Amino acid sequence: MNIEKIMINFLYIDVKTIFEQSKNFSYDSTPYRNLITSSDLERYLIYKTFLKQIIEQIKSEVKTNTLKFFLANISKIFGTGKKTYEIELENIFNEIEKNEFIDVQILKEKNVNQSSNQNVEQKNGNESSSDFSVGPNGVSINLSDKNNNSFFEGNNNTLEEKYSEILLKCFNPTIILTSIKGLLSKIGIKYIVICLDDFSEIEERAMKVFVDTIISPLNNWSDEYFKFKIAAYPGRIYLGDIDPQKIEQIRLDYYDLYQSRRVTDIQAEAQRSVKKLLTTRIQYFCKQPPEYFFDITTKVTLDDYCKMLFDITSSVPRNVGWILWYAYQNSISKDQKITLKDLELASEKYFSDSINPYFSKNIFMREPFNIKLEKYHLKELLQNIINSSKTNKREIPNLDSKIFQLDKEKPPTSHFYIDSNFEEILSSLELNFFITKYNEQKDQDSQKVMSFYSLNYGLCMKEDIFYGRGSDRKYVIQRRFNYTDIIKKYISSAKQIKCQNIECNKIYSYETLQSLQLFNMLCPTCRVGNCEIEHVSVDIPNVSEAIQIPEFDINLLNSLNIESPQYPSALAQELDCTYQKVSKRSIKLKELGLVSSEKRRLDTKIGERTYYTLTEKATTTYFSE
């Protein structure tokens, strides 16, 4: 593609990396003292640093890409020297920085403090009011005309909304709109595409500030001069004032990607994508057809390998790569071809090494208690699903139903379905590859829409559960695979809704959520506090604080446990971060005696590098199970 001909400027921004770097903010907090609480100030300055670095990245990308792809046009407009263009670009961003510290005065005027997050009831005259309460039968509403006016400050005006309003004035997006658009239009650029990677990886509150301050204004006010391509997880994106009907969503999960009336057609299409991936990558890197590496016989074809790879990975390319890497250890490295058994063993090993640590290493992670609590309850839910699958495995051989006759010897019980209204409960399990959604259809009895899932193939290998949907097409829609009741029991035992007003602290059952949402989660008991969803507190198995480390450090150690030694750039690719972050955290882990480093030349192509390995202390402490 000739970018210069179509006159589009593409900018790439790694949102997650920039946000992580922003946590070490450099702003002097002195001017903000007594204007905002210390905890809120820290959060505010992180947001401010984050937005400043985003704008710095936009500036860097604009400068680099225009000089690289549009130099001829720049020379025509600004002369042979590029200095004039660079100065004009620099002046635009200097103009933005002029208002960088206007927030101090705004904070004084607005008196933003901790009370902003609470609901303060004030009453004036000449308006109607409403009384409501939440009971077991839902919400009860009484309307009356009273000579007073009630409004609840903070209920729809959260602290993050105040931050967005303030930062909108600090980093005025209209300057970017008018000045950048004017400058780049001179050199013939028709529009700018800003690619935001790892958008869902930042905190939800930071995401809201980012969207309200930068993305939404640029998107809505620029007559489509600024276009955004955002990589995000389904259900983990905030749009703010952006019209969702004007957004094209391209879903990459195979169920959404290959829409079809029948599940078999969807999966066949996904399997073809796996085969295409194998064929093109192997041909490109190895100059061989796939059959060169797989044990093809009269009974086992390449399509059989592609089907199993699809079952194991759900067509996720990164997971396909990992499974082949593990299979390589047991086959090609020993001068043998890859077999179906190698893929099965690889799936179990990959699950144990890379997926299960989300739960198994939870006790070692230094993170907020509420996150630990959520993971604890989620693990209990997964275990209940596994137990039900094992129960079905034991019971099906004793059933007389014709539907199960062909599968009695090895009954597959890896697949299940739930009421689609409870999908959100399983979203974290799906996001972390413990389960995969593969279909939707109406229940034969209730006519409700049901969501169908499969357990991870490697998990099934580990738990001795047979993987598959059964020989009969009606096999998996039998009532015994309806796990909706498991979800309901989990909700009633693990989740509650609590008023955050310390003088109230009223607790409601999770079933009242929809009723409370009608009033923006305002507590119907005290009518002051906001209600929030919490996990029921339980005693969680724990370890000494001395050996608890951040989640990133656990993941880094886990990567070295899988393969060692490794150098920073390789670890960064695996951990989806910068090599600078790997190096920085490795220094800390080295001080703790958990990793060792050594300069080595293991590959002549990349030369001498610093390689990291686990110490015996790290292996004993975190990986001795």
Q: Does residue 105 share a domain with residue 195?
A: yes
Q: Does residue 452 share a domain with residue 371?
A: yes
Dihedral angle at the C-alpha atoms of 214, 220, 221, 223, nearest 10 degrees? Answer: 130
- Among the residue ranges 231-240, 254-263, 526-535, 577-586, the one predicted with the least confidence is 254-263
521-540 pLDDT, tens digit each: 999 999 989 998 888 888 87
Q: What percent of the chain has pLDDT over 90?
A: 40
Q: Does residue 100 share a domain with residue 176?
A: yes
Q: What is the mean pLDDT of residues 289-307?
A: 94
Tell me whether residue 451 is exposed, middle or buried, using C-beta atoms within 10 angstroms of its C-beta: 0 to 12, 13 to 18, 19 or more.
buried
- Among the residue ranges 97-111, 236-250, 328-342, 571-585, the one predicted with the least confidence is 97-111
Q: How confident is the model at residue 320 (pLDDT cuts 50, 70, 90)?
A: very high
Number of domains in the chain: 5
Considering the domain boundaries, does residue 494 fall inside one? Answer: no
Give the pLDDT score at 246: 82
Question: Does 123 score more than 80 pLDDT?
Answer: no
Give the pLDDT score at 591: 94
Q: What is the mean pLDDT of residues 482-489?
A: 94
102-117 pLDDT, tens digit each: 888 887 776 654 444 4
Question: Does 586 score more than 60 pLDDT?
Answer: yes
Q: Does residue 367 share a domain with residue 337?
A: no
Q: Does residue 194 share a domain with residue 162?
A: yes
Considering the domain boundaries, does residue 413 fall inside one? Answer: yes
Give the pLDDT score at 261: 53
Q: Does residue 135 share a domain with residue 12?
A: no
Q: Whole-angstrom Cα distance, residue 202 to residue 23? A: 11
Give the pLDDT score at 160: 72
Considering the domain boundaries, does residue 505 fall inside one? Answer: no
Between 185 and 234, name the one with better pLDDT: 185
Return the H-helix or E-strand segment holding 264. Answer: helix 263-286
Helices (H) then strands (E): counts for the chain: 26, 14
Q: What is the mean pLDDT of residues 311-322?
A: 93
Between 5 and 372, name the one with better pLDDT: 372
Q: Does residue 96 share a domain with residue 140?
A: no
Q: Whole-angstrom Cα distance, residue 517 to residue 562? A: 45
Q: How confident is the model at residue 260 (pLDDT cuts 50, 70, 90)?
A: low
Q: How confident is the model at residue 436 (pLDDT cuts 50, 70, 90)?
A: very high
Question: Does 151 score more than 70 pLDDT?
Answer: no
Q: Which of 183, 174, 191 is nearest to 63 (CA)?
A: 183
Question: What domain range is 219 assigned to?
Answer: 3-112+158-246
Q: Does residue 392 share a domain with residue 340?
A: no
Q: What is the three-class DSSP state of 46?
A: helix
Q: What is the mean pLDDT of residues 112-131?
A: 42
Return the H-helix or E-strand segment holding 614. Answer: strand 607-614
Considering the domain boundaries, does residue 492 fall inside one? Answer: no
Sheet holding 415-419, edge to edge: 415-419, 449-455, 435-442
Considering the domain boundaries, does residue 179 fall inside one? Answer: yes
Quote the pTM value. 0.78
- How large is the C-alpha radius of gyration of the chain? 28
Q: What is the mean pLDDT of residues 198-210?
A: 87
Q: For 102-168, give the DSSP string.
A: THHHHHHHHT--GGGGS-EEEEEEEEEEEEEEEETTEEEEEEEEEBEEEEEETSSS-HHHHHHHHHH
- Among the residue ranges 31-45, 181-195, 275-289, the one predicted with the least confidence is 31-45
Q: Which of 267, 293, 266, 265 is nearest to 278 (CA)?
A: 293
Q: Does residue 447 share a domain with residue 559?
A: no
Return the H-helix or E-strand segment holding 227. Answer: strand 226-230
- Among the residue ranges 153-162, 167-176, 331-340, 582-591, the one predicted with the least confidence is 153-162
377-400 pLDDT, tens digit each: 999 999 999 999 999 999 999 999
Q: Does residue 291 share a domain with residue 424?
A: no
Retrieve residue 528's tokens: 């002051």
Give the pLDDT score at 110: 66
Q: Does residue 95 share a domain with residue 127?
A: no
Q: Which CATH number characterizes residue 598's domain?
A: 1.10.10.10
